[in-house]
Amino acid sequence: MSVAHRGLILLGFPRPNRGANSTVRQKFCETKGTKGIAVKWTLASDIDGTLVGSRESLDRLANRLDVLRNAGGLLLIYCTGRRLDQVIDGTETEGLPIPDAVICQVGTEIYLEPNQESASLESWRTKLLSEYSRAEAESFLDGIPGLQMQPHEFNTDLKTSCFVDECPNPDATAAMIAERAARADDRYMVIYSSGRDLDILPASSGKGKAIAFLLQHLGRSHENVVVAGDTGNDSAMFHHFDRGIVVANAQPELIALAEAADAKSVYQAGLPYAAGVEQGLEFFGVLPIKTA
Ligand code: GLC
């Protein structure tokens, strides 16, 4: 088991407020069902630093996605480290289009037709719980000077998350935690991002595997999937699917991945945030190329 790519969760992005109003909740409830939609493309995108970063770009992309979705041409999935309520709040405060499904907490929770009261997909939870012990995951963090746990809402029965940036040597600390986890029969995956965030997740989780499970659950093919991201914790999506968009503001590890991969399948956008996603969707033929 190795430490996953170092990624940087960009600090300074506006955090959604916690008070989603009932209109937004209602809109979520009215989102059309995800089962049985005969759509051609699936876009599975990270949120912070990928779709969110420039409101103007996101508004333009959202309008174009709306047209495609209204014509039944796109299934939209968010794949994020956020909690579900933060995603829902983001549809109100950050201009995020209402998605068809959401994968939260770095691939450990899946929500279909998401609303504030949604429960995460039970079959995914059951599968992950069968390999994961929160107590065992916490034991990998024992006795490490400077280590701090993340707030409790980012720690769940399937995700043990801490900060290592105040440890004397964060990189070495992350490697040591990964080594401890590797002794546990490959049941754990350690994701180290930004020299700060460290997640211990079930080995079967992560963003890429969660999308694959969701698509299988919906009876949808893994073809015609485009993923988009900006940091190391997005790299699992690029390993699973043939078409990936790396936005121009991406962190070095994801850019390196883009350069190493087949140029046909990983598109390095020239523009940041949603504008980069838009460019990539044009490149892969999901959106028509704008002539104006
Ligand atoms: C998001 C999550 C956090 C996690 C980080 C890196 O910021 O909120 O818990 O550690 O992503 O995966």
Rounded to the nearest whole angstrom, what is the distance from the C-alpha of residue 280 to the centroid of ligand 1?
25
215 and 230 share one domain: yes
Assign residue 164 the CATH number of its domain.
Answer: 3.90.1070.10
DSSP sequence for 17-80: PS---HHHHHHHHHSPPSTT---SEEEEE--BTTTBS-HHHHHHHHHHHHHHHHTT-EEEEEE-
Q: Where in the sequence is the domain holding 77, given as residue range(s)?
A: 38-126+206-283
Same domain? For 75 and 119 the reply is yes
Query: In this structure, are residues 31 and 224 in contact, taking their beta carbons and an 8 Å threshold?
Result: no
Q: Report the distance separating Cα 121 and Cα 191, nearest Å.
A: 23
* Whole-number pLDDT of residue 39: 61
pLDDT digits (tens, 9 = 90+) for 134-154: 999 999 999 999 999 999 999
Cα 147 to ligand 1 centroid, rounded to whole Å: 15
- Select from 148, 173, 202 the last residue of a domain: 202
Tell me the β-bridge partners of 228: 45, 245
Quick one: pLDDT at residue 264? Answer: 62
Q: Would residue 178 count as lying in a domain?
A: yes
Ligand 1 contact, 192 CB (< 6 A): no
CATH of the domain at 224: 3.40.50.1000
Show which of 158, 182, 202 is a domain's final residue. 202
Query: Does ligand 1 lie within 6 Å of residue 190's CB atom?
Result: no
Low-confidence ranges of the chain (pLDDT < 70): 1-39, 261-264, 291-292
Residue 18 lies in a domain: no
Contact assessment for residue 82 and residue 88, using Cβ atoms and an 8 Å cutoff: no
Q: Count other C-beta atoms under 10 Å from residue 164's C-beta.
A: 25
How far is 45 from 25, CA to CA, in rounded Å?
21
pLDDT value of position 260: 76
Residue 197 near ligand 1, beta carbon < 6 Å: yes
Whether residue 119 is found in the same domain as residue 229:
yes
223-248 confidence digits (pLDDT tens) = 899 999 998 789 889 988 989 999 99
Residue 29 lies in a domain: no
- Same domain? For 228 and 115 the reply is yes
Same domain membership, residue 143 and residue 102: no
- The answer to whether position 88 is within a domain reads yes
The reply to whether 51 and 190 lie within a common domain is no
- Tokens matching residue 47: 């949120």
Is residue 2 a part of any domain in this protein? no
105 CA to centre of ligand 1 in angstroms: 7
Residue 162 Cβ < 6 Å to ligand 1: no
Between helix 84-93 and helix 22-30 the angle, nearest 10°, is: 110
Q: Indicate whether 75 and 183 sit together in one domain.
A: no
Answer yes or no: do 104 and 148 share one domain.
Answer: no
15 domain residue, yes or no: no
Tell me if 21 is assigned to some domain: no
Residues 86 and 227 in one domain: yes
Verify that 108 and 239 share a domain, yes or no: yes
pLDDT at 262: 67
Q: What number does the ligand 1 atom closest to the CA of 198 have?
A: 10
- For the chain, the residue count is 292
The pLDDT score that the predictor gives to residue 3 is 33
Instruction: Tell me, yes or no, whether 117 and 139 share the same domain.
Output: no
Q: Whose CA is nearest to atom 11 of ligand 1?
A: 81
- If asked whether residues 122 and 215 sit together in one domain, one would say yes
Query: Do residues 187 and 131 touch, judged by C-beta distance below 8 A?
Result: yes
> Is the residue at 26 inside a domain?
no
Q: For residue 38, give Cα distances in angstroms to 58, 69, 221, 222, 236.
A: 25, 11, 11, 14, 26
pLDDT, residue 204, reads: 95
Q: Please give the tally of structural domains in the chain.
A: 2
Name the residue with the closest Cα to ligand 1, atom 1.
81
Task: Show which of 186, 202, 218 is a domain's final residue.
Answer: 202
What is the per-residue pLDDT for 290?
78
Nearest atom (ligand 1) to Cα of 159? 9
